[in-house]
Structures are given as C-alpha cells and as structure tokens.
Amino acid sequence: MRKLVTLAAFLIPIAGQAQQMDMEAMMKWGAADVIRYHVVGVYQATPIVSGDGAAIADVGDRVVFDFTWKLSEMKLVGKPTFQNFKTTVAKPRDRDGKCTPPVLKGDFEYYDVLGIKDGLSGSLEIQVQTTYPVVDVPQMCTGKPKAVPAKNDIRPEQFVVVSPVTFGMPLPDSDDLRISSDKKSLVAKRDGWTWTYTPTIVPRK
C-alpha cells in the first residue's frame, strides 16, 4: 500500500447493474453501530528494494489488524491490535532486468505497521515502515558492485474502513471491491494488495 488508499476507489457506480439490493443485509448492517473488524492484507508485487531505487524484486508480504469501529461516528473504539509478518523477496534485479543482479545484504521489510489511529474523513491513519537493507548494485550494469546504504522509510497512510452496509449493495463485477463467496467478508484489491475485511456486530449493551 505505497499509495494513499482513498474512498473514491470503492465508490463504484452501480446504476444499471442487474443485481438487486440485499434488503436483509441492508437492514442487518444498517441497524448496527459498533463493528469489530478483522482485516487481512496480502501483498504480491515488484516494488523497489534498494534505497536508491535501482533494484526491484518479486515481493510478498502480509499484515493483520483488528479494531472496533463506531459507524455513527466513523471512529475507533478502544485500541487496535496488529500483526506484522516477514517479507519474502525473490529474483532481485535492476529495473530493465538486463544487468548483473543486485545483492541484498540484509532483510527487506516492505510493510511493517507501527501504529493505528483515527485518520481523515472517517478513515484510519496507519504508521508504516519500509526497511531497505544494504544492497550491492553493480556499477555501469555489470561492473564492480557499489553498496547502497540501508534506509528506513516511515510514513503515515490513510486506510479506508469499508462500511459493512456494502453487503447489501449491488456491486459490479470488479476486483476493486467484492463480497466473498461465503458473504462474510468484503475483498478489495489495489496496488498489489488484497485486503479482506471481515466485520462482526458488537451487541448493544
């Protein structure tokens, strides 16, 4: 999730779709206020893996976080929790794939969550860290390797909380946002990430 995930990515036109609204789901989720979310993010893409931007690789990553959300206020309730997983890296190479491959001298960690809090306009703000190791990059494509220094990139990213009311909507056939086959989760794909949101209703006291 290198780029800002915006709500506009999920507000997909639904006019003219053949599907019908699921009124039972609309009533169920429309009557709810406090929701517990379990979110799983799985990443598969070829991002930059060196601090100078010269090397890329086939990268996999995963993150899980859980939080409680008050729909009427679009804000967090309590403290979120999260789990980071080790990044996998395969086939490091230069951007054109024609030069001697670069060599990573340590672990590349693409997406480590450092913290989660309320963000802008009813989103979450996630503090994310990408860790670049020292990378030996051949000079002039095939020459003597030159060490690119290690680097840490820490940044805030806005993350949309998809409303569970979406379960009742007639979504178009798009990977931007789907309802899972078991109708328990909402699945969104963007920028190499597959995000699976599984909400449950917290009973009213």
DSSP string, 148-168: EPPEEEEEEEEE----GGGGG
What are the average pLDDT values for consecutive 10-residue runs of the chain, which has 205 residues?
38 46 91 97 97 96 98 96 98 92 97 98 97 95 93 97 94 91 95 98 87
Amino acid at the residue 113: V
Q: 90 exposed, middle or buried (CB, 10 Å; 0-12, 13-18, 19+)? A: exposed
Relative to beta strand 34-45, strand 186-190 is unpaired
CB-CB neighbours of 31 under 10 Å:
9
In a domain, 105, yes or no: yes
Give the per-residue pLDDT at 205. Answer: 74
Q: 156 exposed, middle or buried (CB, 10 Å; 0-12, 13-18, 19+)? A: middle
82, 80, 75: which is closest to 161 by C-alpha? Answer: 75
In a domain, 132, yes or no: yes
Structure-block tokens of residue 133: 């190791």
Give the per-residue pLDDT at 19. Answer: 59
CB-CB neighbours of 173 under 10 Å:
7
In a domain, 12, yes or no: yes
Angle, vertex CA 101, rays to CA 96 and CA 107, nearest 5: 115
In a domain, 2, yes or no: no
In a domain, 135, yes or no: yes
Site of tokens 């990430």: 193
Give the per-residue pLDDT at 104. Answer: 97
In a domain, 37, yes or no: yes
33, 22, 3: which is closest to 200 by C-alpha? Answer: 33
In the chain, how many domains are there? 1
In a domain, 16, yes or no: yes
Report how far residue 182's alpha carbon sits from residue 152's, in angstroms, rounded to the nearest whole number.
40
In a domain, 1, yes or no: no
**Domain coverage including residue 99:** 7-201
Give the per-residue pLDDT at 9. Answer: 39
Give the per-residue pLDDT at 21. Answer: 87
Provide the 8-state DSSP code for 29. Answer: H
Residue 140: CB partners within 8 Å, gap ≥ 6?
Answer: none
